[in-house]
Amino acid sequence: MKKAIIIGSGIAGIASAIRLKGMGYDVSVFEANSYPGGKLSEISVGSYRFDAGPSLFTLPNLVEDLISSTGKSPSDYFQYDKRDVICNYFWEDGTMFSADSNAQTFAQEAANVFDVEASQIEAYLKHSEKIYNLTSKVFLESSLHKSSTYLSLETLKAILNIFGMNISKTVDAVNRERLSDPKLVQLFNRFTTYNGSSPYQAPGIFTMIPHLEHNLGAYFPKGGMYSITQSLYRLAKDIGVHFHFENPVKEILIKNKTAIGIRAAEEVFADVVVSNMDIVPTYKKLMPSVKAPESTLTQERSSSAIIFYWGIEKEFPNLDLHNIFFSDDYQEEFKAIFQEHSISNDPSIYVHISSKAKKSDAPDGCENWFVMINVPSNRGQNWEKLIADSRKSILNKLSRILKVEIEPLIQLEELLTPELIESKTSSYQGALYGASSNSKFAAFLRHPNFKKKIRGLYFTGGSVHPGGGIPLCLLSAQIVADLIPNPHYD
């Protein structure tokens, strides 16, 4: 049996292990931490449980398809519910809007709140769907670095329609053209944060992102977001994948331009090596003698995050699973992140409360708040000061809008910062999504899922093609599996 080694047990690493095991490889996963999941992990403190990382779940079919590929029943491993409300939005002037999961209801209710025609919103969502359908096969489900991709019918369709994809305009410019209310523009601008970018720089093609939530739906796994990791980890073990925790890989072994294994606690040899580690430390730490593609590795990093995990001694009926409290100056917020590498005095605040869907995550009468702001990647800023200032800004803003003093309600607090993200997950500069997408060429500049000059070496996860976030990480695992020779057909 041919052997495969996966470096890292992030969601893409686990998915790659499952795919390769299904192809007939004997698969071993080496992980520096004592737990699987990478960013998709959890924190338990006292009577509170928090999903530590990603909190939004779309395209559940990708998880189900992965489970089904092994011949197992998805429902035996993973279950989830569709949310009736996608997100509650709050502005300083007292405007509050609850985004219904039904696209038509959303359009009608948004028309009432934002004083626009429902048809304008419906047309926007149809445009978002069109762009997604035209591009997903090419940009998300295939390798952009193989010539065969460009010979397909899907690629031809995408090329013929490329001028309707708003590649030369920013997301903000497209949204201002298509939506007449500034608050509605801001609502749809925020979707670029899903790939750690700025709506004032990212190309308009990313107006496809709202389609995933508003047309296809937002979901929540039973057991919380970490149950995605737990389900796939259990599946991987059930089918015979071997996991080696607290066993960091120190080097990828390369001989005659071929990856032959890794050096961890000891040398382990394999026919295939897949790195789920961030692409920058993969080169710098694991392959220091290999010439690195510096133009790729030195691209602008995506945003990072400061997250406060608060046990709140109160329930808030006007909050839902997902909540956003918008900045009064959205453009200044992103200017601070990407031009000044700092944090504005009025950052938008995302509050995720999993106890709204999973009551056991907080004690009776309490809520578990995952309170996040987007921040720059770690470049050696004075994080102690930035965090202290941001905490004050967050508490003041939440207290103003909710009309309740929040700080006295905090029973416990944990913190995640760009520095901690970098140290815990090896994400270069603590960036959540690898390189930013603040360029119309961003999709093509991401590192490929393979190394042309080194046989048997592949890359998966959020820092390489097609990008970060749970759905794209699962798709990167599928792309890698499609690239790797299948022993069944040797």
pLDDT of residue 120: 97
Mark out the alpha helices in 220-367 (DSSP H runs): 226-238, 279-281, 294-297, 330-338
pLDDT of residue 489: 62
SS (H, E, C) the chain: CCEEEEECCEHHHHHHHHHHHHCCCEEEEECCCCCCECCCCEEEECCEEEECCCCCECCCHHHHHHHHCCCCCHHHHCCEEECCEEEEEECCCCCEEEEECCHHHHHHHHHHHHCCCHHHHHHHHHHHHHHHHHHHHHHHCCCCCCHHHHHCHHHHHHHHCHHHCCCCCEHHHHHHHHCCCHHHHHHHHHHHHHHCCCCCCCEHHHHHHHHHHHCCCCEEECCCCHHHHHHHHHHHHHCCCEEECCCCCCEEEEECCEEEEEECCCEEECCEEEECCCHHHHHHHHCCCCCCCHHHHCCCECCEEEEEEEEECCCCCCCCCEEEECCCCHHHHHHHHHCCCCCCCCCCEEEECHHHCCHHHCCCCCEEEEEEEEECCCCCCCHHHHHHHHHHHHHHHHHHHHCCCCHHHEEEEEEECHHHHHHHHCCHHHCCCCECCCCCCHHHHCECCECCCCECEEECCCCECCCCCHHHHHHHHHHHHHHCCCHHHC
pLDDT of residue 440: 79
User: Among 105, 276, 116, which residue's Cα sits nearest to residue 181?
Assistant: 116
Q: Parallel, antiparallel, or unpaired for β 367-375 and 304-312?
A: antiparallel
**Is this model's pTM higher than 0.85 or not?**
yes
pLDDT of residue 145: 61
Tell me the C-alpha distance between 413 and 387, whole Å. Answer: 13
Tell me the C-alpha distance between 476 and 479, whole Å. Answer: 5
Domains of the chain, first to last: 3-34+245-297+437-489 (3.50.50.60), 102-216 (no CATH)
Tokens at residue 455, please? Answer: 């046989």
Tens digit of each residue's pLDDT, the chain (490 residues):
999 999 999 999 999 999 999 999 999 999 999 999 999 999 999 999 999 999 999 999 999 999 999 999 999 999 999 999 999 999 999 999 999 999 999 999 999 999 899 999 999 999 999 999 888 776 666 665 665 655 566 666 666 566 566 778 999 999 999 999 999 999 999 999 999 999 999 999 999 999 999 999 999 999 999 999 999 999 999 999 999 999 999 999 999 999 999 999 999 999 999 999 999 999 999 999 999 999 999 999 999 999 999 999 999 999 999 999 999 999 999 999 999 999 999 999 999 999 999 999 999 999 999 999 999 999 999 999 999 999 999 999 999 999 999 999 999 999 999 999 999 999 999 999 999 999 877 766 789 999 989 999 999 999 999 999 999 999 999 999 999 988 876 5
pLDDT of residue 134: 84
Is there a cis peptide before residue 466, judged by omega within 30 degrees of 0? yes
